[in-house]
Amino acid sequence: MEEFKDMSRAGALSRILLPVDDVEAFRRAARFIGTLLRAVDLTPQRADLLHVVTGTFLGDLMKGLDLVSGETPTADEMNERRRHHLATTVKPLVETCGELLRVEMGREPSRTIVKDGNPARIISSFWEENDYSSLVISRRNMDEQSNSLVGSIAAGVLHRSTLGTIYLVGDRTTAEAGTLLSRCLIGVDDSPASLNSVAEAGVLLARADDQVDQIYLVHVLDQSCYYDEDGENCMDASLTGQRALEASGNLLVDLGVNRQKIKTVIHFGKPGTILAEEVRSCDATLVFLGRRDRSRMAQVFPGSVCTEIIHNCRDRTLVLTS
Protein backbone atom coordinates (compact mmCIF):
# COMPACT_ATOMS: atom_id res chain seq x y z
CA MET A 1 0.00 0.00 0.00
CA GLU A 2 1.14 3.56 -0.72
CA GLU A 3 2.18 5.66 2.22
CA PHE A 4 1.35 9.29 2.76
CA LYS A 5 4.51 11.18 1.78
CA ASP A 6 4.00 14.16 4.08
CA MET A 7 6.90 16.42 3.27
CA SER A 8 4.53 19.33 3.96
CA ARG A 9 5.00 19.76 0.21
CA ALA A 10 8.01 21.91 1.09
CA GLY A 11 9.16 21.63 -2.50
CA ALA A 12 5.87 22.78 -4.00
CA LEU A 13 6.60 24.77 -7.17
CA SER A 14 10.33 24.73 -6.43
CA ARG A 15 11.48 22.92 -9.59
CA ILE A 16 9.16 23.40 -12.53
CA LEU A 17 9.16 21.66 -15.92
CA LEU A 18 7.16 23.23 -18.76
CA PRO A 19 6.81 21.18 -21.96
CA VAL A 20 6.81 23.21 -25.17
CA ASP A 21 4.71 21.96 -28.09
CA ASP A 22 2.41 24.78 -29.20
CA VAL A 23 2.70 28.52 -28.62
CA GLU A 24 -0.93 29.16 -27.67
CA ALA A 25 -1.07 26.21 -25.29
CA PHE A 26 2.21 27.30 -23.74
CA ARG A 27 0.96 30.88 -23.42
CA ARG A 28 -1.83 29.65 -21.14
CA ALA A 29 0.59 27.53 -19.12
CA ALA A 30 3.05 30.41 -18.68
CA ARG A 31 0.30 32.86 -17.74
CA PHE A 32 -1.12 30.45 -15.18
CA ILE A 33 2.15 29.60 -13.48
CA GLY A 34 3.25 33.23 -13.42
CA THR A 35 -0.06 34.25 -11.84
CA LEU A 36 0.09 31.45 -9.27
CA LEU A 37 3.68 32.23 -8.26
CA ARG A 38 2.78 35.89 -7.75
CA ALA A 39 -0.29 34.93 -5.75
CA VAL A 40 1.70 32.80 -3.30
CA ASP A 41 4.87 34.92 -3.47
CA LEU A 42 7.14 32.04 -4.44
CA THR A 43 10.25 32.01 -6.62
CA PRO A 44 11.17 28.58 -8.05
CA GLN A 45 14.72 27.33 -7.90
CA ARG A 46 14.46 26.53 -11.57
CA ALA A 47 11.96 26.57 -14.41
CA ASP A 48 12.99 24.55 -17.47
CA LEU A 49 11.51 24.29 -20.95
CA LEU A 50 11.44 20.92 -22.72
CA HIS A 51 10.60 20.36 -26.38
CA VAL A 52 10.42 16.85 -27.85
CA VAL A 53 11.10 16.38 -31.57
CA THR A 54 8.77 13.62 -32.81
CA GLY A 55 10.04 12.95 -36.32
CA THR A 56 7.06 14.46 -38.12
CA PHE A 57 9.51 16.60 -40.09
CA LEU A 58 10.34 13.44 -42.09
CA GLY A 59 6.80 13.25 -43.46
CA ASP A 60 7.46 14.91 -46.81
CA LEU A 61 10.63 12.90 -47.29
CA MET A 62 8.84 9.61 -46.63
CA LYS A 63 6.03 10.46 -49.06
CA GLY A 64 8.48 10.43 -51.95
CA LEU A 65 9.73 6.92 -51.24
CA ASP A 66 8.49 3.54 -52.37
CA LEU A 67 8.20 2.01 -48.92
CA VAL A 68 6.60 -1.17 -50.26
CA SER A 69 9.77 -2.03 -52.14
CA GLY A 70 11.88 -1.27 -49.10
CA GLU A 71 13.16 2.14 -50.16
CA THR A 72 14.28 4.21 -47.15
CA PRO A 73 15.85 7.64 -46.73
CA THR A 74 19.58 7.87 -46.16
CA ALA A 75 21.06 8.93 -42.83
CA ASP A 76 22.38 12.11 -44.45
CA GLU A 77 18.92 12.98 -45.79
CA MET A 78 17.31 12.48 -42.37
CA ASN A 79 20.01 14.46 -40.57
CA GLU A 80 19.65 17.32 -43.02
CA ARG A 81 15.87 17.37 -42.55
CA ARG A 82 16.36 17.38 -38.78
CA ARG A 83 18.85 20.26 -38.92
CA HIS A 84 16.44 22.24 -41.08
CA HIS A 85 13.53 21.48 -38.72
CA LEU A 86 15.54 22.56 -35.67
CA ALA A 87 16.57 25.82 -37.34
CA THR A 88 13.24 26.82 -38.88
CA THR A 89 10.67 25.40 -36.45
CA VAL A 90 12.12 24.38 -33.09
CA LYS A 91 14.43 27.34 -32.52
CA PRO A 92 11.72 29.99 -33.13
CA LEU A 93 9.25 27.97 -31.03
CA VAL A 94 11.44 27.70 -27.94
CA GLU A 95 12.61 31.31 -28.26
CA THR A 96 9.02 32.55 -28.38
CA CYS A 97 8.05 30.40 -25.40
CA GLY A 98 11.12 31.53 -23.49
CA GLU A 99 10.05 35.14 -24.02
CA LEU A 100 6.51 34.31 -22.86
CA LEU A 101 7.95 32.78 -19.70
CA ARG A 102 10.11 35.85 -19.12
CA VAL A 103 7.07 38.12 -19.43
CA GLU A 104 4.88 36.03 -17.13
CA MET A 105 7.48 35.01 -14.54
CA GLY A 106 9.95 37.84 -14.81
CA ARG A 107 12.84 35.50 -15.52
CA GLU A 108 14.50 33.58 -18.29
CA PRO A 109 14.12 29.78 -18.41
CA SER A 110 16.79 28.07 -16.33
CA ARG A 111 17.39 25.67 -19.21
CA THR A 112 15.89 24.90 -22.61
CA ILE A 113 16.16 21.22 -23.49
CA VAL A 114 15.43 19.59 -26.87
CA LYS A 115 15.12 15.81 -27.09
CA ASP A 116 13.96 13.27 -29.69
CA GLY A 117 11.34 10.57 -29.17
CA ASN A 118 7.85 9.94 -27.87
CA PRO A 119 6.73 13.15 -26.10
CA ALA A 120 4.80 11.56 -23.23
CA ARG A 121 7.56 9.07 -22.48
CA ILE A 122 10.34 11.66 -22.73
CA ILE A 123 8.50 14.24 -20.60
CA SER A 124 7.69 11.69 -17.88
CA SER A 125 11.16 10.16 -17.72
CA PHE A 126 12.93 13.54 -17.88
CA TRP A 127 10.71 14.84 -15.10
CA GLU A 128 11.50 11.92 -12.81
CA GLU A 129 15.20 11.75 -13.64
CA ASN A 130 15.68 15.44 -12.84
CA ASP A 131 13.59 15.48 -9.66
CA TYR A 132 11.11 18.19 -10.64
CA SER A 133 8.43 19.07 -8.13
CA SER A 134 5.90 20.29 -10.66
CA LEU A 135 4.87 19.78 -14.27
CA VAL A 136 2.81 22.53 -15.92
CA ILE A 137 1.08 21.46 -19.11
CA SER A 138 -1.84 22.71 -21.22
CA ARG A 139 -4.18 20.57 -23.28
CA ARG A 140 -4.64 21.37 -26.93
CA ASN A 141 -5.30 18.26 -29.06
CA MET A 142 -8.67 17.41 -30.58
CA ASP A 143 -8.33 14.05 -28.83
CA GLU A 144 -8.65 15.88 -25.53
CA GLN A 145 -11.80 17.68 -26.63
CA SER A 146 -13.57 14.39 -27.25
CA ASN A 147 -14.62 11.79 -24.73
CA SER A 148 -11.22 10.16 -24.93
CA LEU A 149 -7.85 11.40 -23.75
CA VAL A 150 -6.06 8.67 -25.62
CA GLY A 151 -3.61 10.00 -28.19
CA SER A 152 -2.72 13.38 -26.70
CA ILE A 153 0.58 14.37 -25.10
CA ALA A 154 -1.07 15.48 -21.86
CA ALA A 155 -2.99 12.20 -21.69
CA GLY A 156 0.16 10.21 -22.30
CA VAL A 157 1.83 11.94 -19.37
CA LEU A 158 -1.20 11.51 -17.11
CA HIS A 159 -1.38 7.80 -17.88
CA ARG A 160 2.12 7.21 -16.60
CA SER A 161 2.98 6.58 -12.96
CA THR A 162 4.87 9.81 -12.43
CA LEU A 163 5.61 11.24 -9.01
CA GLY A 164 5.11 14.91 -8.28
CA THR A 165 2.35 17.36 -9.09
CA ILE A 166 0.79 18.02 -12.48
CA TYR A 167 -0.78 21.43 -13.05
CA LEU A 168 -3.13 20.73 -15.96
CA VAL A 169 -4.05 24.18 -17.19
CA GLY A 170 -7.66 24.70 -18.23
CA ASP A 171 -9.17 26.66 -21.09
CA ARG A 172 -10.65 29.36 -18.87
CA THR A 173 -8.69 32.62 -18.91
CA THR A 174 -6.39 32.66 -15.91
CA ALA A 175 -7.71 34.87 -13.12
CA GLU A 176 -5.70 37.70 -11.63
CA ALA A 177 -3.31 36.82 -8.83
CA GLY A 178 -5.75 38.18 -6.25
CA THR A 179 -8.60 35.86 -7.28
CA LEU A 180 -6.91 32.69 -8.55
CA LEU A 181 -7.09 31.10 -5.09
CA SER A 182 -10.39 32.61 -4.00
CA ARG A 183 -12.50 29.42 -4.24
CA CYS A 184 -10.49 26.22 -4.16
CA LEU A 185 -12.04 22.77 -4.21
CA ILE A 186 -10.16 19.73 -2.91
CA GLY A 187 -11.48 16.25 -3.62
CA VAL A 188 -11.00 14.12 -0.51
CA ASP A 189 -10.89 10.38 0.06
CA ASP A 190 -8.86 8.13 2.34
CA SER A 191 -5.94 7.61 -0.05
CA PRO A 192 -2.35 8.84 0.50
CA ALA A 193 -2.59 10.68 -2.83
CA SER A 194 -5.57 12.63 -1.48
CA LEU A 195 -3.65 13.74 1.61
CA ASN A 196 -0.72 14.76 -0.56
CA SER A 197 -3.13 16.86 -2.61
CA VAL A 198 -4.45 18.50 0.56
CA ALA A 199 -0.87 19.18 1.67
CA GLU A 200 0.02 20.79 -1.68
CA ALA A 201 -3.06 22.99 -1.45
CA GLY A 202 -2.36 23.87 2.17
CA VAL A 203 1.19 25.03 1.52
CA LEU A 204 0.01 27.35 -1.26
CA LEU A 205 -3.18 28.62 0.40
CA ALA A 206 -1.47 29.41 3.70
CA ARG A 207 0.79 31.81 1.81
CA ALA A 208 -2.17 33.73 0.39
CA ASP A 209 -4.73 33.83 3.20
CA ASP A 210 -6.01 37.28 2.27
CA GLN A 211 -6.85 36.03 -1.23
CA VAL A 212 -8.79 32.95 -0.11
CA ASP A 213 -12.55 33.27 0.36
CA GLN A 214 -13.55 29.61 0.68
CA ILE A 215 -11.92 26.18 0.58
CA TYR A 216 -14.25 23.29 -0.20
CA LEU A 217 -13.26 19.84 1.06
CA VAL A 218 -15.54 17.47 -0.85
CA HIS A 219 -15.97 13.76 -0.28
CA VAL A 220 -18.35 11.66 -2.37
CA LEU A 221 -19.82 8.51 -0.87
CA ASP A 222 -19.78 6.12 -3.81
CA GLN A 223 -23.26 4.78 -4.58
CA SER A 224 -21.76 1.42 -5.53
CA CYS A 225 -21.43 0.48 -1.86
CA TYR A 226 -25.18 -0.21 -1.84
CA TYR A 227 -24.83 -2.77 -4.59
CA ASP A 228 -21.51 -4.47 -3.85
CA GLU A 229 -22.34 -7.30 -1.47
CA ASP A 230 -18.67 -8.18 -1.03
CA GLY A 231 -17.41 -4.60 -0.62
CA GLU A 232 -17.36 -2.05 2.19
CA ASN A 233 -20.82 -1.33 3.56
CA CYS A 234 -22.12 2.22 3.35
CA MET A 235 -21.99 2.88 7.08
CA ASP A 236 -18.29 2.03 7.18
CA ALA A 237 -17.69 3.97 3.97
CA SER A 238 -19.45 7.01 5.44
CA LEU A 239 -17.34 6.90 8.58
CA THR A 240 -14.19 6.52 6.49
CA GLY A 241 -15.18 9.58 4.46
CA GLN A 242 -15.87 11.65 7.56
CA ARG A 243 -12.49 10.71 9.02
CA ALA A 244 -10.79 11.63 5.74
CA LEU A 245 -12.49 15.04 5.76
CA GLU A 246 -11.50 15.62 9.38
CA ALA A 247 -7.87 14.62 8.73
CA SER A 248 -7.74 16.83 5.66
CA GLY A 249 -9.16 19.83 7.51
CA ASN A 250 -6.71 19.36 10.37
CA LEU A 251 -3.79 19.10 7.94
CA LEU A 252 -4.79 22.36 6.25
CA VAL A 253 -4.96 24.10 9.62
CA ASP A 254 -1.60 22.65 10.68
CA LEU A 255 -0.12 24.12 7.51
CA GLY A 256 -1.45 27.58 8.40
CA VAL A 257 -4.83 27.74 6.66
CA ASN A 258 -7.63 29.63 8.43
CA ARG A 259 -10.12 27.02 9.68
CA GLN A 260 -13.00 29.48 9.28
CA LYS A 261 -12.51 29.37 5.52
CA ILE A 262 -12.79 25.58 5.27
CA LYS A 263 -16.14 24.06 4.33
CA THR A 264 -16.57 20.28 4.38
CA VAL A 265 -19.11 18.66 2.08
CA ILE A 266 -20.27 15.04 1.75
CA HIS A 267 -22.27 13.97 -1.30
CA PHE A 268 -23.69 10.65 -2.43
CA GLY A 269 -23.35 9.33 -5.97
CA LYS A 270 -20.78 8.62 -8.65
CA PRO A 271 -17.61 10.39 -7.42
CA GLY A 272 -16.33 11.76 -10.74
CA THR A 273 -19.74 13.06 -11.82
CA ILE A 274 -20.62 14.58 -8.45
CA LEU A 275 -17.22 16.25 -8.04
CA ALA A 276 -17.50 17.80 -11.51
CA GLU A 277 -20.96 19.14 -10.60
CA GLU A 278 -19.60 20.57 -7.34
CA VAL A 279 -16.74 22.27 -9.21
CA ARG A 280 -19.27 24.08 -11.37
CA SER A 281 -21.70 24.74 -8.51
CA CYS A 282 -19.16 26.56 -6.35
CA ASP A 283 -17.41 28.02 -9.42
CA ALA A 284 -14.06 26.72 -8.19
CA THR A 285 -11.09 28.78 -9.34
CA LEU A 286 -8.64 25.91 -8.74
CA VAL A 287 -9.28 22.19 -8.25
CA PHE A 288 -6.95 19.86 -6.29
CA LEU A 289 -7.18 16.10 -6.71
CA GLY A 290 -5.13 13.13 -5.56
CA ARG A 291 -3.80 11.07 -8.44
CA ARG A 292 -3.45 7.43 -7.51
CA ASP A 293 -0.46 5.46 -8.73
CA ARG A 294 -2.21 3.26 -11.26
CA SER A 295 -0.92 1.41 -14.29
CA ARG A 296 -1.16 3.13 -17.66
CA MET A 297 -3.68 0.63 -19.02
CA ALA A 298 -5.91 0.96 -15.98
CA GLN A 299 -6.13 4.72 -16.43
CA VAL A 300 -7.02 4.50 -20.11
CA PHE A 301 -10.34 2.87 -19.35
CA PRO A 302 -13.37 4.75 -17.99
CA GLY A 303 -13.96 4.82 -14.25
CA SER A 304 -11.08 6.88 -12.94
CA VAL A 305 -12.33 9.87 -10.93
CA CYS A 306 -9.46 12.00 -12.23
CA THR A 307 -10.26 11.04 -15.81
CA GLU A 308 -13.91 12.04 -15.41
CA ILE A 309 -12.99 15.40 -13.87
CA ILE A 310 -10.49 16.03 -16.68
CA HIS A 311 -13.18 15.34 -19.28
CA ASN A 312 -15.94 17.34 -17.59
CA CYS A 313 -13.99 20.31 -16.21
CA ARG A 314 -11.88 21.20 -19.20
CA ASP A 315 -12.17 24.93 -18.49
CA ARG A 316 -10.68 24.64 -14.97
CA THR A 317 -7.07 24.20 -13.97
CA LEU A 318 -6.58 20.91 -12.14
CA VAL A 319 -3.80 20.24 -9.66
CA LEU A 320 -3.16 16.48 -9.76
CA THR A 321 -0.92 15.31 -6.94
CA SER A 322 0.61 11.85 -6.53
Same structural domain for residues 215 and 232? yes
pLDDT (0 to 100) of residue 151: 43
pLDDT (0 to 100) of residue 148: 42
Number of domains in the chain: 2
Same structural domain for residues 142 and 180? no
The Cα 112–Cα 127 span in angstroms is: 14
Same structural domain for residues 135 and 198? no
Same structural domain for residues 160 and 30? yes
Residue 68 lies in a domain: yes
Domain boundary among 137, 168, 199: 168
Going by C-beta distance under 8 Å and a sequence separation of 6 or more, which residues neighbour residue 247? 195
* Residue 204 belongs to domain with CATH number: 3.40.50.620
The Cα 137–Cα 17 span in angstroms is: 9
Q: Are 322 and 165 in contact (CB under 8 A)?
A: yes
For residue 262, give its domain range: 175-317
The Cα 22–Cα 114 span in angstroms is: 14
pLDDT in tens, 180-232: 999 999 999 999 999 999 999 999 999 999 999 999 999 998 766 655 555 55
Domain boundary among 116, 141, 168: 168
Same structural domain for residues 154 and 26? yes
Going by C-beta distance under 8 Å and a sequence separation of 6 or more, which residues neighbour residue 241? 188, 189, 190, 219, 221, 266
Residue 190 lies in a domain: yes
Domain boundary among 125, 152, 168: 168
Residue 8 lies in a domain: no
The Cα 183–Cα 162 span in angstroms is: 27
pLDDT in tens, the chain (322 residues): 344 455 455 589 999 999 999 999 999 999 999 999 999 999 999 999 999 998 776 666 556 655 556 667 777 877 888 898 899 999 999 999 999 999 999 999 999 999 999 999 999 999 989 999 999 999 764 444 444 443 477 878 887 766 789 999 998 888 887 899 999 999 999 999 999 999 999 999 999 999 999 999 999 987 666 555 555 567 777 888 899 999 999 999 999 999 999 999 999 888 889 999 999 999 999 999 998 754 443 343 334 788 888 888 989 999 999 8
